[in-house]
Structure 1
C-alpha cells in the first residue's frame, strides 16, 4: 500500500461496462414514513453475533431495503458499485461492526436486491434522495462515515455537497470522481461501452443490464453536470485508487483515472490518497484488509 497525505461486480462483465458508463449524484427529496422491519441474516464475527435487520422504507413511491446492524452513535454506510446490491459488503460489514462498535448500514439501490425497480434513466439526484430518505427514516442525522465504491462515488459526491453536516467523513473506494469526467473523456467512455450496452439490451431484465441501460440514457449530460460537483472542505475523505483501475485495458484512460483521484485528493483539506497496490477495481474483494483499515481509521479520526 502507498499512503500519501495531501494538503490541499461486481463481475468483469458488469465492471467493463459499468465502470465505463456507470463510472455514475444531488437533490433532496421529501421522505415518507417507515414501512416495516424484519430480520435479515446473521453474521458471526469472532464469536460475537452481529444480526442485521431489514428495514423497508418508502420514498417517492418506491420501496428500498436498508440492512442495519445497530451499534453506538457512530454510523458507517456502505454503498456498492454499479450492478451490485448490499450483499457486496457481506464479508466486511460484520468485521466493521465488531472492530468499531458502530452502527453499520448497507442498502439496495433502486432496482437492485430487495428494492423496487424504478423505470426510466438512472438519476443521481434520485439516488441521493433515496439515501437521504432512508437515513432520515432510520433516525440517522449525524456522525456518518460514508463508504462508496465505483458508481456510488457519484452519489457520495452529491450527497456530501448537499448534506455535509450529516457526514463526519468518507472513504471513496476506486470511486467515480468529478475530475475524471471531462469533455474529452465522456465520449471515449460512451464509445467504449457501446458493444456491451447493445449486448445488455438483449437481456434487459437482468439487474446489472437494467442498470447499465438506465445509466446510458442521458449519460453525457449527466456527467458533464457531475464534473462540476464540489466536495465540501468540511468533510474529510480518504481516496483509495486501485493500481490497475477499472480501465486497465486502456493505458491512457487508466492514467486519467489515477490522475483524477490525485487531483481530487489535492483539491481540498483533510483528504488522503491511498493506492491499493496490485488491486483491480474490486478493491474491497482484492484488498479487504486495506479497505477495513482505512474505514476504521476514518471512523476513529473524528471520535
Structure 2
C-alpha cells in the first residue's frame, strides 16, 4: 500500500482552526513541483493560475475560502514558474496534467470530489483535468478563460513563429516553452471536451487581455460560444474588471466561489 508523501515528508504547521498547512515540493518524474495545501474537513478546491503566474495569484483567496468553507485548498506552481522545475524535453499540457494527477494522488486527494477554479490559461488545465477525471470533478469555475478553438490555435501559431529561443534567458525559459507549445496544447484540447455532467461557471472580464479590439472580441466570443454550447454552464460578467479578475476583484471571486461550492460541493452533497 502506498504511503502518502504528506505523512512523512511535508513540513506541517497547525493553523488557528486546527487544520494542517502544507508547503512542499513533490517529485514528479524529473521535476519538483511546488504545492501549498490548507487541509480542511470540506472537499478540495484546486486552483490553476493564469499563464506565466504562480500560486501567489491565489494565495490569499485560497486562505480565506479555506477559513470560510473549511474546505481543503490546493494551490501550486506549474512547471517552470514559482518554485517548480521544468522538464523541457517532455513539456506539454498532457504531461503537465499527468504530473498534476500524480501529485494529487501523492497528496491523498485523487479519490476526493473536487472543485476546479482557474484563471485565463489555467482553464486549459482545469478542462483537461476534468476530461481525464470526470468522476471526481464536481464543478469548474473559470475566470476570463482562454478557450481552445481553431482561431486560438492560429493565434498561438502566429506567436510561435515570432519566438527566438536565444532571446530567452534562464530566468525566462519557461515563458519560451509556454508560448512555443501553446498551439499544440490548444489544438489538443479541442478534442478533449469537458463532460456534460460537470457544471461550469464562466466569469468574463469587462476588459480583455489583448491590445487590439479584434483579439479581445475573439476572446470574449469564444467564452460566450462555449457557454452557449452547454446546458450546464453559466456566463457572468465581472463589471469593471481587467483580465486578471482575481487581482482586481478578490472579494467578488471569493463570494462566487463560495456560492458555487456550497451549491455543488456542500457537506450535504
- Partner residue of 1:158? 128
Q: Give the structure 2 partner of residue 269 of structure 1.
A: 231
The CA deviation string for residues 179-216 of structure 1, in whole angstroms up to 9 with x for no partner, is xx31x443334435766x44x8434212xx32221123
Equivalent residue for 1:131? 100
Q: Which residue of 191, 194, 212 corresponds with 1:228?
A: 191
Are 2:263 and 1:296 aligned? no
Question: Contact 2:209–2:216 (CA<8 Å) still a contact in 1?
Answer: yes
Q: Sort the Cα spacing of 1:175 and 1:122 in 2 relative to 1 into closer, same or farther, 3 A.
A: farther
1: distance between equivalents of 2:152 and 2:129? 24
Deviation at 1:227, TM superposition (A): 2.3
TM-score normalised by the chain length of structure 1: 0.78
Alignment of 1:82-121 (within 5 A): 82-120=51-89
Higher relative contact order, structure no. (Cα contacts within 8 Å, ≥ 6 residues apart): 1
CA contact (8 A) 2:45 2:116 kept: yes
Partner of 1:187: 154
Change (3 A) 1:287 1:203: same
Runs of 5+ unmatched residues, structure 1: 1-30
Compared with structure 1, are the counterparts of its residues 110 and 219 closer, same or farther at alpha carbon in structure 2 (3 Å cutoff)? closer
d(CA) in 2 for partners of 1:255 and 1:32?
A: 49
Q: Judge conservation of contact 1:82–1:151 (CA < 8 Å) in 2.
A: yes
* Contact 1:121/1:216 (8 A) holds in 2: no
| Matched pairs, number | 261
Q: 1:79, 1:107 within 8 Å by CA — same for their partners in 2?
A: yes
Which whole-Å CA distance do the structure 1 matches of 2:83 and 2:174 have between them?
15
121 and 138 in structure 1: CA distance in 2 versus 1, 3 angstrom threshold? closer
Residues in 1 aligned to 2:141 and 2:57: alpha-carbon distance in whole angstroms: 16
Partner residue in 1 for 2:11:
38
**CA distance in 2: counterparts of 1:280 and 1:289, whole angstroms:** 15
Structure 2: distance between partners of 1:79 and 1:108: 9
Contact 2:156–2:179, Cα closer than 8 Å, also in 1 = no
**In the alignment, is the contact (CA less than 8 A) between 1:71 and 1:101 conserved in 2?**
yes
Note closer, same or farther for the CA distance 1:120–1:217 as it changes in structure 2 (3 Å cut): farther
Distance change (3 Å), C-alpha of 1:77 and 1:188 = closer
User: Normalising to structure 2: TM-score of the pair?
Assistant: 0.87
Equivalent residue, structure 2, for 1:204: 169
The 3 A distance-change label for structure 1 pair 218 and 93 is closer
The alpha-carbon deviation at position 121 of structure 1 amounts to 6.3
C-alpha contact (below 8 Å) 1:32/1:133 kept by paired residues? no
SS at match of 1:146: strand
2:44 to 75, 97, 100: 75
**Counterpart position of 1:26:** none
Q: CA RMSD in A?
A: 2.6
The aligned residue for residue 144 of structure 1 is 114
